[in-house]
């Protein structure tokens, strides 16, 4: 490898490159030990960049898939209550155990349970269609949001409550390679599934009747897409907290660039989402002395951009 990046040590090639660029920037790299550089680059910056790419790309692909599935350009990966469910699970994990692995596990399982409850609830209502599923997600999301408020009310205001509030705002400040290892495989499998199914999403976005005529089983495909998006979203929320607007805004930007064809839209959303969250994370680290949570910046950037899209009439499929 040209840079010589290796786990557990810092090879000569990378040290030479750091010395060259550090000297040009006036940074005394020669005075810094290799162990310090290893900690900064491999254990702090690299996991954070990889996590931003994975989470940003995953949320963007999930948003694009849901917008096609529900034939609604205003939905996001959190539409079925996964954010509220994962938030409740994380808050419960912080209050009871306050261990990273338990917090992530509770957030993931609670997010999965929320979406499962929304899906099962939709089966009890008369009627069919995507709107019933969305309404089930709204009901389940409101229920878990009330449970989250109850946990926050009962949490220690000097210790646990600030941790819960900060986690809910979304951040990659404490991400580690171990955190990435826990969510890497399920997220990659789900992203690859949505990539392979992207041509079917073209058909499904036309409606169930048209999909049936063209030989696509809309029911099974809908379950598969919901499951894939849920795994991606719950995995992302379990390690980074709730980072909103990424899965809503980035697919629209990708649609403006490549059009509504999901054969191009899904890969474009993946690439744009990864780059977007890396950029936002860089701004969050450098805009002030105290790091700003990602959820605040993504909402600050996403809301005006989406308002601009509405004024231009670019929220449809054309």
Phi and psi at 99, nearest 5°, equal -115, 135
Domain edges within the chain: 35-307
> Tens of pLDDT along the chain (318 residues)?
333 333 333 444 455 555 544 554 455 555 555 666 667 777 778 899 999 999 999 999 999 999 888 888 888 899 889 999 999 999 999 999 888 889 989 999 999 999 999 888 877 776 556 778 888 888 999 999 999 999 999 999 988 999 999 989 999 988 988 889 999 999 999 999 999 998 888 887 777 777 777 777 778 888 899 999 999 999 999 999 999 999 999 999 999 899 889 999 999 999 999 999 999 999 998 888 888 999 999 999 988 988 887 777 655 544
Give residue 231's pLDDT: 93
Q: What is the CATH number of domain 35-307?
A: 1.10.3470.10
Give residue 53's pLDDT: 96
Q: Residue 162, Cα to own-chain centre: how many angstroms?
A: 22
Give residue 150's pLDDT: 95
Phi and psi at 6, nearest 5°, equal -140, 145
Give residue 5's pLDDT: 37
Residues linked to residue 9 through DSSP beta bridges, in sequence order: 6
Asked whether the whole model's pTM tops 0.75, one would answer yes
Supply the DSSP string of the chain, one letter for each residue. Answer: --S--BTTB--HHHHHHHHHHHHHTT--GGGS-HHHHHHHIIIIIHHHHHHHHHHHHHHHHHHHHHHHHTT-TT--TTTTSHHHHHHHHHHHHHHHT--HHHHHHHHHHHHHHHHHHHHHHHHHSSS-SHHHHHHHHHHHHHHHHHHHHHHHHHS-TTTHHHHHHHHHT---TT--HHHHHHHHHHHHHHHHHHHHTHHHHHHHTT-HHHHHHTT--HHHHHHHHHHHHHHHHHHHHHHH----SHHHHHHHHHHHHH-S-HHHHHHHHHHHHHHHHHHHHHHHHHSSSSPPPHHHHHHHHHHHHHHHHHHHT-SS--
Between the two ends of the chain, the Cα-to-Cα distance in Å is: 44
Cβ atoms within 10 A of the Cβ of 85, count?
A: 34
Are residues 85 and 114 in contact, defined by beta-carbon separation less than 8 angstroms? yes
Residues linked to residue 6 through DSSP beta bridges, in sequence order: 9
Give residue 7's pLDDT: 36
Give residue 276's pLDDT: 96
């Amino acid at each position: 490898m040209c840079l010589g990046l290796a786990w557990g040590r810092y090879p000569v090639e990378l040290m030479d490159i750091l010395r060259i660029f550090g000297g040009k920037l006036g940074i005394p790299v020669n005075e810094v030990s290799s162990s310090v550089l290893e900690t900064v680059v491999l254990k702090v910056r690299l996991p954070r960049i990889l996590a931003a790419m994975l989470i940003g790309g995953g949320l963007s692909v999930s948003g694009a898939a849901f917008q096609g599935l529900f034939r609604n350009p205003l939905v996001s990966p959190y539409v079925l209550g996964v954010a509220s469910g994962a938030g409740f699970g994380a808050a419960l994990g912080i209050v009871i155990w306050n261990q990273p692995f338990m917090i992530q596990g509770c957030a993931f399982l609670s997010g999965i349970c929320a979406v499962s409850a929304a899906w099962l609830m939709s089966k009890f209502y008369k009627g069919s269609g995507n709107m019933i599923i969305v309404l089930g997600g709204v009901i389940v999301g409101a229920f878990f949001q009330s449970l989250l408020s109850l946990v926050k009310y009962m949490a220690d205001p000097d210790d646990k409550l600030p941790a819960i509030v900060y986690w809910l705002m979304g951040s990659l400040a404490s991400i580690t390679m171990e955190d990435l290892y826990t969510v890497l495989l399920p997220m990659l499998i789900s992203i690859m599934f949505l990539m392979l199914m992207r041509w079917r999403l073209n058909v499904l976005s036309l409606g169930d009747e048209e999909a049936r005529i063209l030989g696509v089983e809309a029911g099974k495909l809908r379950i598969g897409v919901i499951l894939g998006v849920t795994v991606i979203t719950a995995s992302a929320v379990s390690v980074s907290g709730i980072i909103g607007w990424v899965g809503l805004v980035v697919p629209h930007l990708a649609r403006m660039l490549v059009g509504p064809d999901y054969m191009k839209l899904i890969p474009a959303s993946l690439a744009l989402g990864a780059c977007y969250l890396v950029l936002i994370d860089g701004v969050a680290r450098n805009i002030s002395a105290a790091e700003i949570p990602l959820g605040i910046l993504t909402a600050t950037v996403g809301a005006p951009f989406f308002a601009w899209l509405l004024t231009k009439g670019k929220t449809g499929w054309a």
